[in-house]
Structure 1
């Protein structure tokens, strides 16, 4: 391979990323040899020469070749195909894969290059729209010696090169970064829906976030709080948990009141302890199953519901309180709303309107389901349980809605 300052660069694939990499290399004084299936692909790319006829020709003209194709099949063809890079490779050539592919494909291509005496690096990149401005981060995986040898070329098109570990580490880091991006988008979508339902312009939400957290530090705070061993200190998790669960409960309450679907909030709440690496919460039912079961009954069906069984002492009542409510309804795996919908579906199969009314009333009291959502549930269940049974379900739901929405006469105390 040539001296470090004289390394020749190549780029295969001149789309937004590959074309941007080629422009940045040319601007840095390291004009690359390029190839693209479009003969005119370099037109409009400042300083980038006309494409060569094949990846093999790029391999003959370059020491470090960036492969910026769309998918795994294209990567296989460009690297190992009939006129691919390896068909003209010489010892010392380094292939840098910029395409996002599955980890097994990374190892497959790395092994193929190794058999030809060619170095291989997997290199996720972000943000793609900054490629032509020397503005991307190169997220690198591969052997240290291979990375060091290619570094002068990488530095000429990347704002920063972050070596994450051995082969596959760059791709894994890029994929994890994408999870944060798209998971964050889902979070934003739910938050914006809540804001809109409450009559708030989502632009005001964006203004608050931009002003309070202009560098986005809150998004990555969980990563930065980890200790040297990579784990979140237990003391930190325990400090955060009460605030996290309180705020997520508030979000669920608002969503239920406004009729907004927030599945990500539900998951975040159900898995709060896992997020904070605290493990499963000790069940209060272990120390006082009866007391916890009675509390859970009130949480499920509304304040005071447990009074109807407090005096009971028969085995069935005991198991209903101590096991059904304390041990099952009280588990974290599903929310109360989730369990209520499951129970509503089962109750619909026995066509008992009085049972349906109890279940539906709990949903209304807890603001988990609106009257319209309950009516929609009746229609959905009718197709699965049969129209006759759904008639009983409709009767129970209607009775619960009527009881919940009918204005109650003022009490004597309220007259005073």
Structure 2
């Protein structure tokens, strides 16, 4: 039996690596360009086929990945005359790898099901480097039959695949994961500002925290900005982080959960975006919190 044709919408930082690994695993790949043609051209040079539109990609594909910035963008490629619902074959599967709003995901899954199209959510855990070497995590929500169909494709680009239950569970877990990560970002930023105002240097802060049980993988990439001004170590924008925390607030409201700590984190990110710094990366929250405390960015003082 030949491998199913895989479509990929959203060839960006993560998608270029995922797409390359899908091809390496022997799956025919169809891609569509959006803003940046560079990654698409790279994949076409590796034997991918370029579709002229989402509609054309949907008609050609059996398993369709979506990896875009959020639920409005997912809904846009699903709906309308040029979308997946109107053009994909019954029996196809849509895998949403975006960090999406689970409330929206439930609605999208129902819309697809009405056309005989299955849905899974498989948001990503990891970095573009992990995408390139096929070592991402995938938090998957899907019924058992759909998961069995897509697992071979997931294994092309992920080495840690967690099937968490029915559709929507992956997006819920991803938001909780990001809540913990962004909580660390807010906590570290505020702690560094207090340290500096108390007369402790960032080097002293790192000497203690960076050699303690509180050091982890997130700490290492987050601190590279403050310690080394390496802006590429943790390329996750404030705008995207704020979006994720709005989605988590929506989820908390929908299940009746109390979330005072998460609200404070969301407001920190919202303040930085409102100040016109939404395209800066999450580690640069340390600079924003420092400025709120009357401090210059570390290294500029």
- For 1:35 and 1:21, the matched residues in 2 are separated by 14
**Superposed CA RMSD:** 2.4
* Counterpart in the other structure of 1:200: 200
Q: CA offset at residue 212 of structure 1?
A: 2.8
* Counterpart in the other structure of 1:133: 133
Say whether 1:24 aligns with 2:21. Answer: yes
Q: Closer, same or farther in 2 for the Cα pair 1:115/1:17, shift >3 Å?
A: same
* Counterpart in the other structure of 1:332: none
Q: CA offset at residue 104 of structure 1?
A: 1.7
Which runs of structure 2 are paired with 1:128-277 in the superposition (5 Å)? 128-129=127-128, 130-213=130-213, 216=216
Q: Closer, same or farther in 2 for the Cα pair 1:145/1:196, shift >3 Å?
A: same
CA contact (8 A) 2:141 2:168 kept: yes
- For 2:207 and 2:146, the matched residues in 1 are separated by 45
Q: Closer, same or farther in 2 for the Cα pair 1:39/1:174, shift >3 Å?
A: closer
Match of 1:43 among 35, 41, 59: 41
CA contact (8 A) 2:30 2:48 kept: yes
CA contact (8 A) 1:124 1:139 kept: yes
Higher helix share: 1
Deviations, residues 110-154 of structure 1 (Å, cap 9, x unaligned): 001100111101121122423222122111112121111110011
Length, aligned pairs only: 215
Name the larger-Rg structure. 1
Which structure would you say has the larger RCO, counting Cα contacts within 8 Å and 6 or more residues apart? 2
CA contact (8 A) 1:23 1:132 kept: yes
Q: Closer, same or farther in 2 for the Cα pair 1:13/1:166, shift >3 Å?
A: same
Normalising to structure 2: TM-score of the pair? 0.65
CA contact (8 A) 2:3 2:28 kept: no
Which runs of structure 2 are paired with 1:242-391 in the superposition (5 Å)? none
Give the secondary structure class of the aligned counterpart of 2:51.
Answer: coil
* Counterpart in the other structure of 1:73: 72
Bigger mean CA offset, 202-211 vs 107-116: 202-211
Say whether 1:33 aligns with 2:26. Answer: no
Higher strand share: 2
Q: Closer, same or farther in 2 for the Cα pair 1:39/1:183, shift >3 Å?
A: closer
Give the secondary structure class of the aligned counterpart of 2:161.
Answer: strand
Say whether 1:95 aligns with 2:94. Answer: yes
Give the secondary structure class of the aligned counterpart of 2:76.
Answer: helix
Q: CA offset at residue 192 of structure 1?
A: 1.1
Deviations, residues 265-318 of structure 1 (Å, cap 9, x unaligned): xxxxxxxxxxxxxxxxxxxxxxxxxxxxxxxxxxxxxxxxxxxxxxxxxxxxxx
Match of 2:11 among 11, 14, 29: 14
Bigger mean CA offset, 132-141 vs 32-41: 32-41
* Counterpart in the other structure of 1:278: none
- For 1:190 and 1:97, the matched residues in 2 are separated by 34
Gaps in structure 1 of 5+ consecutive residues: 220-416
Gaps in structure 2 of 5+ consecutive residues: 220-301
